[in-house]
DNA sequence: TTGTACGCGTTATCAC
DNA sequence: GTGATAACGCGTACAA
């Protein structure tokens, strides 16, 4: 384990003082061209790299942006993280991730880790961290929250109700009236909003809301499977499903497949998020696109701006229905009858 | 932006010297029970959190493990990163990721970032970083390389040829003889190995190798689409496809779907990796399972052991064929004929 | 057992 | 312009 080259080594090598080296590196003050050159050459020769921890100690900043995510391997959060990474790429900042796994205690633990590491700013994704905690944090550093709207905080979110409304309306326009909904966990505000959008679309089309057609999932694939099985077990009649996210739609699709129910021939299926993989699903999934990567990007740009004391107005982020091949016109009334056979 | 609480603050609050506080925190030496108590109470009261950067400067370590990945939002790397995260969870270390995007220059840049941040150890995933560079790094810190075998380095990899062999043999056992292969980029050693496994399986079954049935992709979904289109365009006859990874299999599946070719009825499909989403694919994908999460986990445990000066023998990691519903017995010779109609 | 003094590598504040 | 000198917050010899 070799010794690391320090700034002093460079100074000695270049025959100048450490301060001068620091000035050359940071452009803090004018330096004579010849000395400047000598320093740069010495840096090159010694392959010097500043010690970020020492810089941080001296300047009181870590050049690090903390990101609270729920699950790093999730395709949904993956896209957001990619957006953050991209936004930070050309800056001296680097992201550091910590996962909450959808559990309040783990989120708090993750928060502690990041604060302990003296992150300069925070991006909080879909957290269930208490408002007061966030309001406390924002006194210490720039914070941007994704997926919630909290008074006094910089928030970034989409109109979940509107997205769900459009997804459901699409099915209604195709002639479907018995539309099941696989909801997200009721503990998540966005899940509630999507459920409301679903109900609003039904109401506007004079389709009666049937509680028996709604099942709660947890945003993961297996819960989509369970949801469909539970719907079928209770004898629910439906010709379409609107899932609160793509992953549950994937699960639903498999459950239908196992029963020999074809998508979209027998049942139309709409998801939410439009994950990258959804266009390669078979059939390619109709979904309400959520600009996840852009959201991560905007959040990162926002905290960067705050760090520089600049103001920033994030671009408006909106959902958009992407129609693919998992939805189709309701076929004759026989569809409903056929479902009774399953 | 509030002032942070320092160790000295705690010392003052508890009426002891800073060194005593340090000792209590790190358990470096015995401390009188009463003082110890006072310190702990003061820490609690002030909500003190040690400054990691200062600790790092003083001790010459950052409590950070650097991870070179190719693409953070990739489902494949996501699983590995999750494994790393998990392994580090109960330790004082935290991972920090940097992406190479499959480009040598960006990998080198990522490496620079991590070294600049003084990571204590390095996990390098599927890199194309030159051997010499890695051998140079290993002099400075513990390094574990995933997906390559390099003399003098701690490496972790699976038997790609064996996995590919089994995937291909499975198809052969189902009666297929005209098996197309969507290969990974020839610049990747694992892609070459998988191609060789495919060829070996054919050879062992006396099935002639037909270069016209092999197309090179880049491990991403779109290349799977292109591969199938190119096969069909050149009039290739095949009843099964072995893709070098799941993502390309997804792409292939969509391309087939668009042509009205059904999986597995008309064409059987085998992937490689067995991503989490593959069991929710429709049809659920037969795939050669690669224990990605375990690989990340083992790599992290390994560098941790090295940091502690302990020796470590990683569990053997092997591939396993997971048979699902995208493969089926070759139906009558008509399959081949039918393909001619596409 | 406890406190003092110094060093970790850098930046910032002074003089010069 | 440039170079000493003192921080930054912590760990750790060393002395007591």
- Domain boundaries of chain B, sorted by first residue: 7-50, 64-157+292-316, 160-285+324-341
- CATH H superfamily, domain B7-50: lambda repressor-like DNA-binding domains (1.10.260.40)
Crossing angle for the helix pair B33-46 and B7-14, nearest 10 degrees? 120
CA of A27 to C1' of D1 (A): 13
* Chain A positions in Cβ-Cβ contact with residue B282 (cut-off 8 Å): 253-254, 257, 263, 281-282
Residue whose C-alpha is closest to residue A249's, from A270, A275, A279, A232: A270
Note whether B99 and B113 are within 8 A (CB).
no
Nearest-CA distance from B328 to chain A in Å?
16
Note whether A29 and B168 are within 8 A (CB).
no
Q: Measure CB to CB from residue B73 to each of A57, A82, A116 and give the nearest one.
A: A82
For B63, the closest chain A residue by CA position comes to A117
Calculated CA dihedral for residues A182, A188, A193, A196, nearest 10 degrees:
50
Instruction: List, in sequence order, every beta strand (DSSP E) within chain A.
Output: 64-69, 94-99, 121-125, 143-146, 154-156, 179-183, 214-216, 240-243, 268-273, 286-289, 320-322
So what's the pLDDT on residue B333? 53
Nearest-CA distance from A306 to chain B in Å?
12
For B253, the closest chain A residue by CA position comes to A282
At residue A331 the predicted structure's pLDDT band, cuts being 50, 70 and 90, is: confident
Structure token pair of residue B228? 């199938």
Tell me whether A310 touches chain B (CB under 8 Å): no
Tell me whether A334 touches chain B (CB under 8 Å): no
Q: Which nucleotides of D are covered by protein (CB under 7 A)?
A: 1-5, 7-13
CA–CA gap between residue A141 and residue A306 (Å, rounded): 9
Tell me whether A67 touches chain B (CB under 8 Å): no
pLDDT, tens only, B267-323:
999 999 999 999 999 899 999 999 999 999 999 999 999 999 999 999 999 999 999
CA of A113 to C1' of D8 (A): 21
Tell me whether A58 touches chain B (CB under 8 Å): no
B50 touches strand D (CB under 7 A): yes
Tell me whether A82 touches chain B (CB under 8 Å): yes
Calculated CA dihedral for residues A48, A53, A55, A57, nearest 10 degrees:
-160
Q: Which residue out of A253, A282, A295, A300 would a mutagenesis test of the B interface target, given it has the greatest number of B Cβ atoms within 10 Å?
A: A282
Q: Which residues fall within 8 angstroms of residue A51, CB to CB, at 6 or more apart?
A: A4, A6, B57, B118
The residue among A250 and A339 whose pLDDT is bigger is A250
Q: Which residue out of A73, A139, A293 would a mutagenesis test of the B interface target, given it has the greatest number of B Cβ atoms within 10 Å?
A: A73
Beta-strand pair B320-322/B240-243: unpaired
pLDDT over 50 at A342, yes or no: no
Q: Measure CB to CB from residue B53 to each of A118, A250, A281 and give the nearest one.
A: A118
CA of A22 to C1' of C13 (A): 14
* Chain B positions in Cβ-Cβ contact with residue A257 (cut-off 8 Å): 282-284
The rounded mean pLDDT for chain A is: 94
Residue whose C-alpha is closest to residue A38's, from A18, A17, A14: A14
Give the Å distances, CA to CA, from B108 to A29, B70, B102, B136, B262.
31, 12, 11, 13, 44
Note whether A111 and A72 are within 8 A (CB).
no
pLDDT over 90 at A173, yes or no: yes
pLDDT over 50 at A294, yes or no: yes
Tell me which H or E stretch contains B321.
Answer: strand B320-322
pLDDT over 50 at A217, yes or no: yes
Residue whose C-alpha is closest to residue B114's, from B133, B91, B90, B98: B98
Distance of CA B60 to the CA centre of its chain: 29
Distant-in-sequence contacts of B142-146, Cβ < 8 A, 24+ apart: B142/B302, B142/B303, B142/B306, B142/B307, B143/B303, B144/B299, B144/B302, B144/B303, B144/B306, B146/B80, B146/B295, B146/B296, B146/B299
A274: left (phi over 0), alpha (psi -120 to 50) or beta: left
Report how many helices (DSSP H) and strands (DSSP E) chain A contains, helices first: 13, 11
pLDDT < 70 stretches in chain B: 1-3, 332-342
Those of residues 205-264 in B touching chain A at CB distance below 8 A are 221, 224-225, 247, 250-251, 253-254, 257, 263
Tell me whether B1 touches chain A (CB under 8 Å): yes
- CATH H superfamily, domain A64-157+292-316: Response regulator (3.40.50.2300)
pLDDT, tens only, A261-287:
999 999 999 999 999 999 999 899 999
CA–CA gap between residue B320 and residue B272 (Å, rounded): 10
CA–CA gap between residue A42 and residue A36 (Å, rounded): 10
CA–CA gap between residue B82 and residue B196 (Å, rounded): 30
* Chain A positions in Cβ-Cβ contact with residue B67 (cut-off 8 Å): none
A19 touches strand D (CB under 7 A): yes
Beta-strand pair A320-322/B64-69: unpaired
At residue A332 the predicted structure's pLDDT band, cuts being 50, 70 and 90, is: low
DSSP state of B286: E
Tell me if A7-50 shares its fold with A160-285+324-341: no
Q: Measure CB to CB from residue A1 to each of B115, B141, B263 and give the nearest one.
A: B141
End-to-end CA distance of chain A: 67
pLDDT, tens only, A77-135:
999 999 999 999 999 999 999 999 999 999 999 999 999 999 999 999 998 899 999 99
So what's the pLDDT on residue A188? 86
* Chain A positions in Cβ-Cβ contact with residue B97 (cut-off 8 Å): 95, 97
B160-285+324-341: CATH number: 3.40.50.2300
Tell me whether A265 touches chain B (CB under 8 Å): no
Beta-strand pair A320-322/A286-289: antiparallel
Angle at B46 between CA B41 and CA B48, to 5 degrees: 95
Strand order in the sheet with B121-125: B94-99, B64-69, B121-125, B143-146, B154-156
In order, the DSSP letters of A190-224 are: HHHHHHHHHHHHHHHTTPPP-GGGEEE--SSHHHH
Residue A259: exposure state from Cβ atoms within 10 A (0-12, 13-18, ≥19) = middle
Those of residues 165-204 in A touching chain B at CB distance below 8 A are none
Tell whether the torsion through CA atoms of B103, B275, A157 and A93 is positive or negative.
negative
Contact assignment for A75 to B71 by CB distance below 8 Å: no
Tell me whether A108 touches chain B (CB under 8 Å): no
* Chain A positions in Cβ-Cβ contact with residue B56 (cut-off 8 Å): 53
Span A202-210, average pLDDT: 98
Structure token pair of residue B195? 């191609």
Tell whether the torsion through CA atoms of A86, B275, B160 and B124 is positive or negative.
positive
Note whether A168 and A242 are within 8 A (CB).
yes
Span A321-340, average pLDDT: 75
């Amino acid at each position: 384990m070799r010794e690391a080259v320090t700034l002093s080594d460079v100074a000695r090598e270049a025959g100048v003082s450490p301060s001068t080296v620091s000035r050359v590196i940071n452009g803090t003050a004018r330096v004579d061209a010849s000395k400047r050159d000598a320093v740069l050459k010495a840096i090159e020769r010694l392959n010097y790299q500043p010690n970020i921890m020492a810089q941080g100690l001296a300047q009181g900043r870590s050049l690090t942006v903390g990101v609270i995510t729920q699950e790093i391997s999730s395709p949904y959060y993956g896209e957001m993280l990619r957006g953050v990474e991209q936004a930070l790429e050309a800056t001296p900042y680097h992201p550091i991730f910590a996962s909450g796994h959808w559990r309040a205690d783990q989120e708090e633990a993750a928060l502690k880790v990041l604060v302990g590491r003296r992150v300069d700013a925070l991006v909080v994704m879909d957290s269930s961290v208490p408002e007061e905690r966030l309001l406390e944090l924002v006194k210490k550093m720039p914070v941007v929250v994704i997926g919630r709207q909290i008074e006094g905080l910089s928030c970034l979110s989409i109109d979940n109700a509107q997205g769900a409304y459009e997804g459901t309306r699409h099915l209604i326009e195709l002639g479907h009236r018995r539309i099941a909904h696989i909801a997200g966990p009721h503990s998540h505000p966005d899940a509630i909003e999507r459920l409301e959008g679903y109900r609003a679309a039904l109401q506007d089309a004079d389709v009666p809301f049937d509680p028996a057609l709604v099942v709660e999932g947890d945003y993961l694939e297996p819960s989509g499977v369970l949801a469909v099985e539970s719907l079928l077990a209770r004898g629910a009649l439906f010709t379409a499903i609107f899932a609160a996210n793509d992953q549950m739609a994937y699960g639903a699709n498999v459950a239908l497949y196992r029963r020999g129910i074809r998508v979209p021939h027998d049942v139309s299926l709409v998801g939410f998020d439009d994950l990258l993989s959804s266009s390669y699903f078979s059939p390619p999934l109709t979904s309400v696109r959520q600009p996840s990567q852009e959201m991560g990007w905007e959040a990162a740009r926002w905290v960067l701006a705050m760090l520089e004391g600049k103001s920033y107005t994030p671009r408006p982020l909106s959902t958009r229905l992407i129609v693919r091949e998992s939805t189709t016109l309701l076929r004759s009334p026989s569809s409903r009858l056929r479902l009774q056979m399953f």
